[in-house]
Amino acid sequence: MSVTFDNALLESEERRTLRASVAALGRRFGREYFTTAVREGRQTDELWQEAAKLGYLGVNLPEEYGGGGAGLSELAIVLEELGATGCPLLLLVVSPAICGTVIARFGTGEQKRRWLPGLADGTTRMAFGITEPDAGSNSHRITTTARREGDTWVLTGRKVFVSGVDIADATLIVGRTEDARTGRLKPCLFVVPRETPGFEFRHIPMELAAPEKQFQLFLDDVRLPADALVGDEDAGLLQLFAGLNPERVMTAAFSLGMGRYALEVAVEYARVRQVWKAPIGAHQAIAHPLAQARIDLELAGLMTRKAAFLYDAGDDMAAGEAANMAKYAAAEAGARAVDQAVHTLGGNGLTTEYGLASLLTASRVGRIAPVSREMILNFVCHHTLGLPRSY
């Protein structure tokens, strides 16, 4: 049993082959490898390196910089299929999807040469920091500010919940420059190498069983060269969303993979576990919610592929709406699938041996980050349905 979209009419031969190869890699490592690494506080570097060697990590990045020259659709396949084997690589959401995309689309030639080859072959990782303690879901309130001093940018601010800063060579920071006339948000993106003086990070203990950790960032007069600014100072929002739409699609893939993994474990368990005359999977109270989970995952998967397709086709506006909807649908489907899977296993749903309970918190991440489900509903209310704002 699997949720694989394994249909030649729906997906090209190349993508189906990619799915199968990534799934084979994921199975070679397996859930046990992943949970052991988490328990021991290690990164899943062996898997990362192997995926890099096979060209999966930079599959979406331009060929001339060492990438695979494919698109977000392919990168989402990589994350979903690894997740479906119990080995989701959260940093794929950030490093190649957001940072790689933004630099590939808006970076200077020099910035592309500096960062893309490493992001493509996995030897460089880049985190992404937008969330701030006092702004939260309202990114218009971010206050991390960049001011010019001659040829230098000086960056000051605070960020929170930024994933993977400790293992990232640099963090792409969303700051703002003051628009002297309007005072409105003019987001600007800066690459801040981890060892830059004034850049400090502090681990936030989280109840999440994942190798990647979250951090609070302190930027105090961080001095950066002029070319730390990625893209045009005046095209901020457009550039930002060029990175945020892939982030939503990848978060959807993250949730889909996790949901598929949990569902597969639950179905296998329901097939063989017997406490009355028939296996528990024969009881409709157990079987129907699993069927529902499967349908929800299929639907969310289709929406995710639509969003990735629109993004790859270059329609940023349509991709934005679809990516939000896909992220919402996949997060809900993933969280419900995990919840039902845990329930299906009874007491075993909470054992370390079966490794499902740790997915309960992990599957909630898709509902909260990078944008909460309420903010997506707000977006659909305003943008799609044309309803008035409450805020």
Exposed/middle/buried for residue 103 (C-beta within 10 Å: 0-12, 13-18, 19+):
buried
Closest separation between CB of residue 146 and ligand FAD, Å?
17
Does 369 help bind ligand FAD (rule: CB under 6 A)? Answer: yes
Please identify which residue in 235, 318, 368, 380 interacts with ligand FAD, judged by CB under 6 A.
Answer: 368
Instruction: Determine contact, residues 246/98, Cβ cutoff 8 Å.
Output: yes
Please identify which residue in 104, 162, 263, 341 interacts with ligand FAD, judged by CB under 6 A.
Answer: 162
Nearer to ligand FAD, 30 or 136 (CB): 136
Instruction: Determine contact, residues 251/134, Cβ cutoff 8 Å.
Output: no
Tokens of 2: 């699997």
Nearer to ligand FAD, 157 or 289 (CB): 157
* Cis peptide bond upstream of 370, omega within 30: yes
Closest separation between CB of residue 113 and ligand FAD, Å?
25
b/e sequence 84-97, b meaning 16+ C-beta within 10 Å: bbbbbbbbbbbbbb
Interacting positions 202-241 with ligand FAD (CB under 6 A):
208, 214
Does 131 help bind ligand FAD (rule: CB under 6 A)? Answer: yes
DSSP state of 41: T
Please identify which residue in 151, 275, 388, 391 interacts with ligand FAD, judged by CB under 6 A.
Answer: 391
CA trace torsion 59, 52, 36, 352 (10° rounding): 10
Tokens of 18: 């990619």
Single out the segment in contact with ligand FAD by CB under 6 A; choices: 42-50, 76-84, 124-132, 293-301. Answer: 124-132
Give the interface size with ligand FAD as a residue count (CB under 6 A): 22
Interacting positions 72-111 with ligand FAD (CB under 6 A):
94
Exposed/middle/buried for residue 317 (C-beta within 10 Å: 0-12, 13-18, 19+):
exposed
Please identify which residue in 372, 380, 381, 382 interacts with ligand FAD, judged by CB under 6 A.
Answer: 372
Nearest to 280 by CA among 349, 352, 355: 349
Does 323 help bind ligand FAD (rule: CB under 6 A)? Answer: no
Please identify which residue in 51, 99, 130, 267 interacts with ligand FAD, judged by CB under 6 A.
Answer: 130
| Helix, coil or strand: residue 310 | helix
Does 54 help bind ligand FAD (rule: CB under 6 A)? Answer: no
Nearest to 198 by CA among 169, 165, 156: 156
Does 144 help bind ligand FAD (rule: CB under 6 A)? Answer: no
Does 262 help bind ligand FAD (rule: CB under 6 A)? Answer: no
- The residue nearest ligand FAD at its CB is 136
- Point out which residues bind ligand FAD (CB under 6 A): 94, 128-131, 136-137, 161-163, 208, 214, 365, 368-372, 374-375, 378, 391
